[in-house]
């Protein structure tokens, strides 16, 4: 039997899956016969933690890629690492930056910044030839040409074959082709709206050998179509359906704002409503971030593009505000921590904390640093601006060893995150505006992106206006 939960933001779709998994375990289902597949490693770990047993007794609480990796008995020497992509890029004369594939926070769709590898990955996810994906034109023609793409793809295949390496998609394809999928009594799949056609093929193999399957997702939060995700398969999959209606997260004002973008979706969509929690909250436009007091409370600042996020972070830096992004704390704060670590190492103190600041002062005195100098100056790579930035943060009593109260991210990178106060930068960006003109599907996905951005706010939503109304997404 297949069951499907539609879970609008904050309605507890993950909680529902875990509750069902606990119930199966309680009634005698063996733990190695329960499969739970999440979109990120972080989500899989959190699901494990909510089960009433230790991690080691839950062998199949994983991402699809981890599932394939372990089932095929592969090891790290068999897997394409970021360094392999970078080395191959150098040989081919292209720049490749590939983030850590085992990062807990990031999904598999946010790993490579090179447009050629992104297109190749998208084609494989969709199960189509790279030529067909190229012909679809879902890329910037100035960034990608066919001759270079074909050359990179052929060399990519040769490189993997020569070094006996597999990427994530290769693992899933091998698992499908060799029919290595084990039998399950019950399988749970969270964020199913983000599965690609390749992952749906693996799902079909799992379905053949499983008694009960529970799918959970929200088609209105399907924002990875650009990377190959197939939301229509999730919507159309025959199942016994239930809509989770009560949000424990979203305020009334935020819920009302969220209805606007999804009302604009013209394509395939599951019609559903969800009810907010009993808290009014607020949703309002602001002309500048300076209108808000960011020195108190926690804030999430969301942008549509990475460049916009960098601009926001630069502004926060100028205002001496402590912030961080999905990649971690800012370079300036990491600089500070390196200085602390250096001094800790010199002092033979591997566990430096706030109570050990006197030791730092004593050390700086021993090194004959004058009263006009301080230990910041020990790190010669630090600019005067960066030193002043750190000094100002410490004077404001910011604990730089703790996560920042202000988090800056693109909407795509924060999916699944939430905060009491959200600043949503309404600037779409020129590239995005060009993209949505290509098809209704692109436009529908754009509406979904803004829906996700809005619903990251628990209490208050502040919509940051642009200087150019034509480039602003209207809510």
The DSSP 8-state label assigned to residue 275 in this structure reads: B
Domain boundary among 188, 222, 243: 243
User: Does 400 fall in a domain?
Assistant: no
Considering the domain architecture, whether residues 272 and 372 belong to the same structural domain is answered as no
Structural domain total, the chain: 4
Considering the domain architecture, whether residues 313 and 445 belong to the same structural domain is answered as yes
| Both structure tokens of 236 | 């159309």
Q: Taking residues 347-357, what's their average pLDDT? A: 52
Q: Are strands 323-325 and 328-329 parallel, antiparallel or unpaired?
A: antiparallel
H or E stretch at 186: strand 184-189
Mean pLDDT of the chain: 86
Considering the domain architecture, whether residues 231 and 98 belong to the same structural domain is answered as no
Considering the domain architecture, whether residues 118 and 156 belong to the same structural domain is answered as yes
65, 127, 143, 229 from 132: Cα distances, Å:
25, 10, 17, 17
Q: Taking residues 297-306, what's their average pLDDT? A: 94
Residue with tokens 């999804």: 262
Considering the domain architecture, whether residues 199 and 345 belong to the same structural domain is answered as no
pLDDT the model gives residue 370: 45
User: Does 410 fall in a domain?
Assistant: yes
pLDDT the model gives residue 139: 67
Contacts of 113 (CB under 8 A, 6+ apart): 96, 97, 98
Considering the domain architecture, whether residues 413 and 444 belong to the same structural domain is answered as yes
Burial of 366: CB neighbours in 10 Å, binned 0-12, 13-18, 19+: exposed
CA pair distance 358, 411, nearest whole angstrom: 42
pLDDT the model gives residue 303: 95
Concatenated DSSP letters of 39-67: SSHHHHHHHHHTSSS-GGG-TTEEEHHHH
Other C-beta atoms closer than 10 Å to the C-beta of 400 total 17
Q: Taking residues 451-469, what's their average pLDDT? A: 94
Considering the domain architecture, whether residues 122 and 189 belong to the same structural domain is answered as no
pLDDT at 35 over 80: yes
Reported confidence tier of residue 217, pLDDT bands at 50, 70, 90 = very high
Considering the domain architecture, whether residues 151 and 184 belong to the same structural domain is answered as no
CA pair distance 230, 344, nearest whole angstrom: 50
Query: What is the largest distance, in Å, between two alpha-carbon atoms of the chain?
Result: 75
For the domain that residue 262 is a member of, what is the CATH number? 3.40.50.300
Domain boundary among 140, 165, 190: 165
Considering the domain architecture, whether residues 298 and 365 belong to the same structural domain is answered as no
Nearest Cα to 388, choosing from 399, 377, 402, 404? 377
Across 252-261, 361-370, 460-469, least confident range: 361-370
CA pair distance 371, 397, nearest whole angstrom: 22
User: Does 443 fall in a domain?
Assistant: yes
Q: Are strands 240-243 and 210-217 parallel, antiparallel or unpaired?
A: unpaired
Across 304-318, 329-343, 410-424, 447-461, least confident range: 329-343
Q: Taking residues 274-287, what's their average pLDDT? A: 95
Q: Taking residues 152-157, what's their average pLDDT? A: 93
- The answer to whether 22 touches 36, Cβ cutoff 8 Å, is no
| Both structure tokens of 305 | 């593009």
pLDDT the model gives residue 194: 94
Reported confidence tier of residue 103, pLDDT bands at 50, 70, 90 = very low
Considering the domain architecture, whether residues 60 and 156 belong to the same structural domain is answered as no
Considering the domain architecture, whether residues 184 and 65 belong to the same structural domain is answered as yes
Across 50-59, 81-90, 331-340, 427-436, least confident range: 331-340
| Both structure tokens of 127 | 């199960």
Number of H helices, E strands in the chain: 18, 13
Across 160-169, 174-183, 244-253, 361-370, least confident range: 361-370
Global pTM?
A: 0.85
Q: Taking residues 141-149, what's their average pLDDT? A: 84
pLDDT the model gives residue 69: 92
Q: What percent of the chain has pLDDT over 90?
A: 56
User: Does 450 fall in a domain?
Assistant: yes
User: Does 136 fall in a domain?
Assistant: yes
Counted residue by residue, the chain has a size of 475
CA pair distance 280, 374, nearest whole angstrom: 49
Domain boundary among 226, 243, 260: 243
pLDDT tens sequence across 39-64: 888 889 999 999 998 888 899 999 99
Considering the domain architecture, whether residues 373 and 346 belong to the same structural domain is answered as yes
CA pair distance 244, 261, nearest whole angstrom: 20
User: Does 107 fall in a domain?
Assistant: yes
| Both structure tokens of 451 | 């829906």
User: Does 398 fall in a domain?
Assistant: no
User: Does 389 fall in a domain?
Assistant: no
Domain residues for 232? 2-73+173-243
Burial of 68: CB neighbours in 10 Å, binned 0-12, 13-18, 19+: buried
- The answer to whether 432 touches 304, Cβ cutoff 8 Å, is yes
105, 214, 386 from 300: Cα distances, Å:
16, 32, 23
């Amino acid at each position: 039997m297949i069951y499907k939960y539609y879970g609008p933001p904050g309605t507890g779709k993950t909680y529902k899956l875990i509750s069902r998994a606990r119930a199966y375990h309680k009634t005698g289902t063996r733990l190695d016969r329960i499969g739970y597949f999440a979109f990120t490693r972080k989500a899989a770990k959190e699901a494990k933690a909510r089960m009433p047993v230790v991690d080691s007794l839950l062998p199949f609480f994983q991402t699809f890629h981890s599932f394939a990796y372990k089932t095929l008995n592969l090891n790290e020497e068999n897997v394409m690492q970021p360094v392999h992509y970078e080395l191959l890029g150098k040989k081919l004369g292209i720049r490749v930056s590939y983030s850590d594939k085992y990062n807990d926070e990031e999904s598999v769709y946010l790993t490579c910044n090179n447009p050629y590898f992104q297109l190749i990955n998208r084609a494989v996810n969709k199960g189509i030839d790279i030529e067909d994906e190229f012909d679809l034109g879902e890329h910037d023609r100035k960034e990608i040409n066919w001759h270079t793409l074909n050359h990179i793809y052929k060399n990519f295949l040769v490189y993997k074959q020569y070094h006996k390496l597999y990427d994530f998609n290769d693992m899933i394809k091998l698992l499908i082709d060799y029919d290595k999928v084990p039998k399950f009594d019950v399988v749970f799949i969270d964020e199913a709206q983000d599965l690609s056609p390749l992952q749906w093929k693996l799902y079909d193999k799992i379905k053949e050998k499983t008694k009960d399957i529970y799918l959970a997702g929200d088609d209105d939060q399907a924002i990875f179509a650009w990377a190959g995700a197939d939301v229509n398969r999730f919507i159309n999959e025959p199942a016994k359906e239930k809509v989770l209606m009560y949000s424990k997260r979203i305020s009334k004002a935020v819920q009302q704002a969220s209805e606007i973008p999804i009302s604009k979706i013209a394509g395939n969509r599951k019609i559903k409503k969800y009810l907010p929690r009993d808290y009014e909250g607020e949703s309002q436009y602001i002309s500048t971030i300076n209108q808000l007091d960011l020195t108190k409370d926690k804030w999430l600042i969301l942008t549509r593009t990475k460049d916009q996020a960098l601009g926001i972070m630069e502004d926060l830096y100028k205002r001496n505000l402590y912030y961080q992004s999905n990649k971690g704390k800012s370079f300036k704060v990491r600089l500070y921590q390196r200085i602390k670590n250096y001094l800790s190492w010199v002092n033979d103190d591997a566990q430096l904390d706030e109570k050990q600041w006197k030791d730092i002062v004593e050390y700086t005195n021993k090194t004959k640093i004058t009263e006009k100098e301080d230990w910041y100056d020990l790190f010669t790579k630090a600019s005067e601006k960066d030193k002043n930035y750190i000094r100002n943060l410490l004077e404001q009593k910011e604990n730089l060893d703790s996560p920042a109260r202000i988090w800056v991210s693109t909407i795509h990178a924060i999916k699944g995150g939430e905060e009491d106060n959200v600043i949503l930068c309404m600037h779409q960006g020129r590239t995005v505006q060009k993209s949505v003109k290509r098809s209704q599907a692109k436009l529908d996905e754009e509406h979904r992106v803004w829906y996700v951005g809005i619903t990251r706010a628990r209490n208050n939503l502040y919509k940051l206006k642009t200087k150019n109304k034509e480039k602003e997404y209207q809510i």
